[in-house]
Amino acid sequence: MKHYDLLVIGGVAAGMSAASQARRVDKNMSIGVFEKSEYVSYAACGMPYFIGEHIDDYTKLIAIDKDDFIKKRGIDIVTLAEVEHVDFSLKKVIINIGGSTSEYGYDKLVIATGARPFYPSFAGIDLPGVFMLRNLNDGLRIREFIQKNFPRSGVIIGGGFIGLEMAETLRELGISCTIVERMDSVAMTMDPEISEKITLKLKEFDVDIRTGAEVEKITAVENRLTVALKGGGGIETDFIIASVGVVPNTAFVKDTGLGMTDRGAIVINEKSETNIPGVYAAGDCATVKHLITGKDTYMPMGTTANKQGRVAGLQAAGVSDEVFRGIVGTQLVKVFDLEVAKTGFNEHDAEQAGIPVESASATWHDIAGYCPAAENIFVKLFINKDTRELIGGQTLGRQNAAQRINVVAAAITSRMKLEDFAYLDLGYAPPFAPVWDALLVAAQKLIRR
């Protein structure tokens, strides 16, 4: 049985971050990474743009080549290797490689297996022409299907951020597109004022939107698919992309004593430690602390995966003071020519968390209003009514809107009060920002005098 000082299960964002950081700290420890797919260290978030042919070669999505990890960093990597079982008491894993199983021992273990698409229970989800979009192979299959079959229409099941990005992709490729969303609106994590503006933008680019619509089944006749909706009606299409959420990819450690949530996410602390000594977890298979509530939550994001993976690797290599304290839930999405961003809580989120909330919004120019290129930005801010601390923000605009949310994220993280935020010394020059930034205008409106 081969033995590693550090064994990593999963070779994408979190897993390769862990392995790389451990190697930087300790040049001598033996490190092995086992990845279920054939690719490691790739940018999953770039797949809609690869499918849309903004990126001509999928290898550009691969941050570091597998051979570089092996030859230059001295990290053993085995792809097409699926872990079937972990014995924490004996510190060994059973891995299926090419149809045969092998055992590997470890001193330290990092679980970074990510998440898998949630498969709806309706019939037809496994028909040819129905795709999920989660890993690089999914992106390759969708792009190959489009290039070979020249589809004229596509249906996207799910109106979340991936669904919005894929709607733009299909329209850019000249493919008619319908979004089917069972909730009352697309982008339901956003405030209603934002989601309404997103809906109008989708319609402007001829995206058909069916909200409050639940799929009953998918059927196929020859090369055509039909999405049948509950309550009647159907949509004929050439292919379907289902994006209705993910679940942690942790079935292989179920009932092993590893601490997990009801949804199967591995519970970790700020050091990426699990409840089992010497075992760490990171990325979309694990929880993360939300800095507003202080509670563990499941919010899979690429940024979080990289940070948790980094901490896991450093901890495993003996850097005991390294921590990742948590998130505030910062998200960006591009919807055609709109930039949309959110961080922290809106009214709904705050009410769910039992936080009294106040909010105010403003529409203001992104640069000096007299500049010919000036555009309007919509900003909405949310505060804890009792403490006056900033707890959320959302921005929307055609330019210079998305990155402004990072100022709000920093303010929430530092528990800044509204009255301090409203007078932040933000940069000013006519080509970059107005004297009063849109964020400060919204904050001033929220102050009660």
253/345 Cα distance (integer angstroms): 32
Q: What is the largest CA-CA distance in the chain?
A: 71
Asked if 285 is an active-site residue, the reply is no
Are the C-beta atoms of residues 164 and 155 closer than 8 Å to each other? no
Q: Which residue from 307, 306, 293, 311 is spatially nearest to 412, judged by alpha carbons?
A: 293
Residue with tokens 């199967």: 264
5/318 Cα distance (integer angstroms): 12
Pairing of strands 331-335, 338-344: antiparallel
- Name the β-bridge partners of 242: 132, 157
For residue 265, give the DSSP letter: P
Counting Cβ atoms within 10 Å, is residue 14 exposed (0-12), middle (13-18) or buried (19+)?
A: buried
Rounded to 5 degrees, what angle do the CA atoms 112, 70, 136 make? 50
Which runs of E-coded beta strand occur in 133-265? Answer: 153-157, 176-181, 207-211, 215-221, 224-229, 234-237, 239-242, 246-248
Pairing of strands 234-237, 224-229: antiparallel
139/147 Cα distance (integer angstroms): 12
Residue with tokens 């049948």: 228
Would you tell me how many other CB atoms lie within 10 Å of the CB of residue 220? 13
Specify whether the backbone of 44 is left (phi greater than 0), alpha (psi in -120 to 50) or beta: alpha
- Amino acid in position 397: G
Catalytic residue among 45, 177, 285, 371: 45
Please name the residues in contact with 67: beta carbons below 8 A apart, sequence gap of 6 or more. none
Are the C-beta atoms of residues 197 and 378 closer than 8 Å to each other? yes
393/140 Cα distance (integer angstroms): 35
Residue with tokens 């403490």: 387
Active site residues: 45
